[in-house]
Structure 1
Amino acid sequence: MLKKIDRAAAFIQKESELFRCPMCHQQLTAKEKSLVCSNGHRFDLSKKGTPYFLKHQVQTDYNQAMFQHRRKLIMNGMYQPLIDVLTPYCEGERILDVGCGEGSFLSQLATSAQLKPSVGFDISKEGIYLASDYGENLFWCVADLTNLPFQMGSFTRVLNIFSPSNYQEFKRVLVPGGKVIKVVPGSEYLKELRQAFYPEDETKQHYSNEAVIDKFQETFTKITRKTLKYTFDIPENCRLSLLEMSPLEWGVSPENKAQVQKNPLKQITIDLEILIGEFL
């Protein structure tokens, strides 16, 4: 089995036409284990095969432990109905997974939808290092949503699950007729966890993504909108991971968290809005 860095080097050799320099926007060319532009800007693969395309170091609140807890739940089927819905829209496509985190969504779609060589990126180095565990036909990098290191018309789908958007950049990197697939939480997403963490704070128990949905509908045409809602039975070995997998945990009091740890949730509501559209 190839080392991660060798696997990534083979990817950039084969797929180098995907990449452009985030500094000067010139074509990047693969040279051994680096991507280099004509102006001499160079992006080396890390030992895990992941280039760092940001101009400056960025600190995020998303740490390795959070990504590991999230992966555990994804791999134990928490979002399998979502993967099932997305698979027909991704079949045989070349995907850019925006804000891919630790990579489990794209990895599962690579299997279920037989993807062409695809790329996931995130601003969090910790997430991308974990994503590098997933291999065949997938490439992972640290990059900036507002300055994507990819050429115009490089992808047929942009996947945008639980992460911010930059529609101008999405349009640039998509082929004509390519689709953006955006997934946002519905009003009852993780409602049991919200209630347990913030029993006395109504504002944190309820929220709305209607403004995000309205923006999508203003931006795109040929829109498909699907609602996906179900209850997930949390495996016993994942119940404490649920408490650590999302930013919901950041503001909870130690007392409330200890109470939920003592009596962990056995079921959780998954409520999602799936938006699929082409640019106007």
Structure 2
Amino acid sequence: MKKIVIKKQWVNEHRRLFRCSVCQAPIKGVFENSLVCKQGHAIDFNKHGYLYFLNNGNGTDYDRAMFEARRRMLSAGLFLPMLKQINAVMPDQPQTILDVGTGEGTPLFQLETLRNQNDAAIGFDISKAGVQLATQLPGKLFFCVADLRRLPFADESFDQVMELFSPSDYQEFDRILKPGGQLLKIIPNANYLIELRHLLYDQNDQHAAYDNTPVVERFMQHYQQARIVPLQYQFEIPLGLAEDLVEMSPLHWGRNAKQLDESDLSSLKQVTVDVSLLIGKKI
């Protein structure tokens, strides 16, 4: 069976998770090549098997090369301990899961491999390049292009919303989370990829240090009973992937970032992964 047929069947079976990105009406179903709402608006499936929900030309600075580098690093296990921690705070029974800013989809794929449950899992990103790569992944995952500020998902439809290093819209997250549902947010701590940061920037540069205090404070204001789970580990960079680590990270976008040469890259043998998992529950 062709991939696009499988994806259309999946969306039709889980159509109650979606709402119209034009008028916010409930979804009637999948008809031929389109997802159709009860007001008659139709969103066509892309040939890769995903849905494009953006109503304008918004894009991202992340290109395909960045997402390919990210896939190689994540496939090597860079984020795997984070995903194990996320899995540990999820119920064992099947969940509806949304991955915010899914990129090329590897974190959601690895989470679902760990869970081995019959979850209904969706990843979305604003980047077509990332989502096109995500559709290549095996399994029952569904991916789409969508805007964080205007999610094409129904009210109270998800048990878990997961985001790794992505922006947040807490109002939208509260809308789509079921009562008792969880927001699981990974944020960097001060020593996240500190070795790469020190290679790229002089000690006195503003990018040489990072403070997540404003992010944590805003999260705690919104979810007053939130929990914070710190996680730190060393990741050995596989031979030949140091350049991919640089390429996948926006750290090298800073105005004063150093252009790393072969000597710099060869010195980058391991990195510190220093993050916090913020756990907020919708009351």
**Structure 2-normalised TM-score?**
0.93
What displacement does 1:57 show? 1.6
**1:152, 1:174 within 8 Å by CA — same for their partners in 2?**
yes
Matched, 1:85 2:88: no
Tell me what 2:11 maps to.
12
Describe how 1:76-155 pairs up with structure 2 within 5 A.
Answer: 76-90=76-90, 91=92, 92-115=94-117, 116-155=119-158
Describe how 1:1-280 pairs up with structure 2 within 5 A.
Answer: 2-28=1-27, 29-90=29-90, 91=92, 92-115=94-117, 116-251=119-254, 256-258=259-261, 263-280=266-283
**2:96, 2:160 within 8 Å by CA — same for their partners in 1?**
yes
179 and 262 in structure 1: CA distance in 2 versus 1, 3 angstrom threshold: closer
Per-residue CA deviations over 1:144-163 (Å, capped at 9, x if unaligned) read 11111011111100001100
In the alignment, the residues of structure 2 paired with residue 211 and residue 32 of structure 1 have an alpha-carbon distance, to the nearest angstrom, of: 47
Query: Is there any run of 5+ residues in structure 2 with no aligned partner, and where?
Result: none
RMSD of aligned Cα (Å): 1.7
In the alignment, the residues of structure 2 paired with residue 192 and residue 4 of structure 1 have an alpha-carbon distance, to the nearest angstrom, of: 41
What displacement does 1:253 show? 6.1
In the alignment, the residues of structure 1 paired with residue 132 and residue 155 of structure 2 have an alpha-carbon distance, to the nearest angstrom, of: 26
238 and 58 in structure 1: CA distance in 2 versus 1, 3 angstrom threshold: same
Residue identity opposite 1:99 in structure 2: G
What is the number of equivalent residue pairs in this alignment?
279
In the alignment, the residues of structure 2 paired with residue 111 and residue 263 of structure 1 have an alpha-carbon distance, to the nearest angstrom, of: 32
Per-residue CA deviations over 1:212-248 (Å, capped at 9, x if unaligned) read 1111111114422111111111010312211111111
260 and 184 in structure 1: CA distance in 2 versus 1, 3 angstrom threshold: farther
What displacement does 1:3 show? 2.9
42 and 201 in structure 1: CA distance in 2 versus 1, 3 angstrom threshold: farther
89 and 141 in structure 1: CA distance in 2 versus 1, 3 angstrom threshold: same
Per-residue CA deviations over 1:11-51 (Å, capped at 9, x if unaligned) read 11211111101110101221133111133321111111111
Report sequence identity in percent: 40
* Deviation larger for 28-37 or 184-193: 28-37
Residue identity opposite 2:8 in structure 1: A
Residue identity opposite 1:175 in structure 2: K
In the alignment, the residues of structure 2 paired with residue 256 and residue 36 of structure 1 have an alpha-carbon distance, to the nearest angstrom, of: 49
Partner of 1:152: helix, strand, or coil? coil
In the alignment, the residues of structure 1 paired with residue 36 and residue 87 of structure 2 have an alpha-carbon distance, to the nearest angstrom, of: 34
Per-residue CA deviations over 1:159-186 (Å, capped at 9, x if unaligned) read 0110011111111111110010010000
In the alignment, the residues of structure 1 paired with residue 122 and residue 59 of structure 2 have an alpha-carbon distance, to the nearest angstrom, of: 22
* Deviation larger for 96-105 or 249-258: 249-258
Partner of 2:110: helix, strand, or coil? helix
**Structure 1-normalised TM-score?**
0.94
In the alignment, the residues of structure 2 paired with residue 13 and residue 269 of structure 1 have an alpha-carbon distance, to the nearest angstrom, of: 43
Residue identity opposite 1:88 in structure 2: A
Partner of 2:190: helix, strand, or coil? coil
In the alignment, the residues of structure 1 paired with residue 3 and residue 275 of structure 2 have an alpha-carbon distance, to the nearest angstrom, of: 34
Q: Which runs of 4+ in 1 moved over 4 A?
A: 252-255, 259-262
**1:4, 1:132 within 8 Å by CA — same for their partners in 2?**
no
**2:103, 2:130 within 8 Å by CA — same for their partners in 1?**
yes
In the alignment, the residues of structure 2 paired with residue 193 and residue 276 of structure 1 have an alpha-carbon distance, to the nearest angstrom, of: 28
What displacement does 1:137 show? 2.2
Partner of 2:261: helix, strand, or coil? helix
Query: Is there any run of 5+ residues in structure 1 with no aligned partner, and where?
Result: none
